[in-house]
Amino acid sequence: MPQLKKKTEKEIKILSSFLDEENEEILKKIFDELLTLDEEGNKYLSLLIPDIENDSVKDKLNTIVIHNNFKLTGFKILKWLKSQEFKWFDLLIILNKIEQQELADNRIKAHYDKLLMDVWLMCSYEKNAFENAMQLRSYFFNSLNIKLVDDDKAHLKHFLLNEVFISKQTTITFLNVLYLCFACDLKFPVVPCLMDNLLLLAFENKPPYQISIFDSRFLFFIHNKTLIPYPESKLRIKYNINNDEELPCKPFSKKDVAVMMLKFLAHSYEKEKRNIYEICTQELIYNLSNE
């Protein structure tokens, strides 16, 4: 990960005042300095943007702030990965702050906790695994009225937790991670898996839902788009895999999910022409992938 620098507000203001410089060499040096700011310095830099009248300088500042946010996010995700008490919700909060630094964590956490309580009241260990999986699905599509947007047509707002709660629109990928977030907090043994380069959710065959007559690791998988539980046999038919062959389903780690989400976010910035440097996201994803 890159080395961050602590600078005074005066130093940051002076550096940013030279962003209208036409000399490419000088401009690169200014960029290089501002692209190593720590979190406090980057927050101050973002506060300068509304008062800038020069559109070119404003665009450059926006680029630098977002670029730094991605780097800072890398540090936060590394810390999250090493946490002993990790929660999927914490990852969504970290990603949310790439764009919405000022959003208070406690506000969105309180909203999420309320939603979680609503689902908890609907679900029960007295119900079987299939019933609870369907109950959680019903909550997303019928109570929250979530509408799906194809990943290739998605915009930045569809990958930000706060925006998703407001607009009720998100992508298949994000909804899967959100389902995983709710399921794990409700103590449902749902885990992410990878098959045919796609994220799958699987309901594990373990207490309190374990069915002893089954020898398989999973009770069922959860369809990416509809969130409807479906058996392993359907996967085998879909991918033409015989019953005597092992299902090519690999564990999808915390790191895998984090990198996947970062790639979608980076692609969203590029689609919206927010000038996020491609090299920045590549560096961040490379560092996380090799951690």
Q: In the prediction, which pLDDT does 284 show?
A: 63
Considering the domain architecture, whether residues 128 and 215 belong to the same structural domain is answered as: yes
What is the Cα–Cα distance from 175 to 49, expressed in whole angstroms? 33
Whether 37 shows a pLDDT value over 50: the answer reads yes
Q: In the prediction, which pLDDT does 156 show?
A: 82
Considering the domain architecture, whether residues 153 and 204 belong to the same structural domain is answered as: yes
Considering the domain architecture, whether residues 114 and 244 belong to the same structural domain is answered as: yes
2 found inside a domain: no
Strand partners, 218: 204
pLDDT bin (cut points 50, 70, 90) of residue 180 is very high
Strand partners, 193: 200, 251
Q: Residues with Cβ < 8 Å from 143, sequence gap 6 or more?
A: 118
pTM here is: 0.84
Note the pLDDT tens digit of each residue in 43-87: 899 899 988 889 988 988 888 888 888 888 878 888 888 887 778
Six-digit token string for 244: 């005597």
Considering the domain architecture, whether residues 111 and 247 belong to the same structural domain is answered as: yes
pLDDT bin (cut points 50, 70, 90) of residue 141 is very high
What is the Cα–Cα distance from 165 to 113, expressed in whole angstroms? 13
Note the pLDDT tens digit of each residue in 242-266: 888 888 888 888 888 888 888 888 7
63 found inside a domain: yes
Considering the domain architecture, whether residues 99 and 157 belong to the same structural domain is answered as: yes
pLDDT bin (cut points 50, 70, 90) of residue 277 is very low
Considering the domain architecture, whether residues 28 and 153 belong to the same structural domain is answered as: no
The mean pLDDT of 209-216, rounded to a whole number, is 70
Which burial class, exposed, middle or buried, applies to 220 when counting CB atoms under 10 A from its CB (0-12, 13-18, 19+)? buried
